[in-house]
Amino acid sequence: MASLSTMERHLAEAEGRAAEGIRHLQRQREIASELERDGHDTTQSKTLCATFETSLAMLLAYRDRLREELKSAQRFAQK
């Protein structure tokens, strides 16, 4: 098992990537809306949004798993 400090670092990295992923998805949604508003084809933009959503969901699940593993390890370390 990884040390608590390693687990905390991994969680912090995952938190940062998740925040960045959320920003990218929000921006891509804005772009898709702008394209649609201006009458442009949004197929690629919407496909990219769907890809971002899938990737973000996997990243958030990973982050949540790291949170639970860290909580468990912290409880174990306190015993």
Beta-carbon contacts of residue 36 (< 8 Å; ≥ 6 apart)? 42
Task: Name the residue range of residue 12's domain.
Answer: 4-78
pLDDT category, 1, cuts 50, 70, 90? low
Mean pLDDT computed over 7-31: 96
**pTM of the model as a whole:** 0.83
Which are the contacts of 15, defined by CB distance < 8 A and separation ≥ 6? 63
Q: How many domains does the chain have?
A: 1
pLDDT at 25 over 90: yes
- Residue 54: phi and psi, rounded to 5, are -65, -45
Torsion of CA 55, 61, 62, 68, to 10 degrees: 170
pLDDT digit string (tens) for 31-56? Answer: 999 999 999 999 999 999 999 999 99
More confident residue, 56 or 1: 56
Q: Are 64 and 56 in contact (CB under 8 A)?
A: no
Terminal alpha carbon distance of the chain: 16
The band of 78, judged by pLDDT with boundaries at 50, 70 and 90, is: confident
Q: Which of 41, 20, 24, 21 is nearest to 32 (CA)?
A: 41
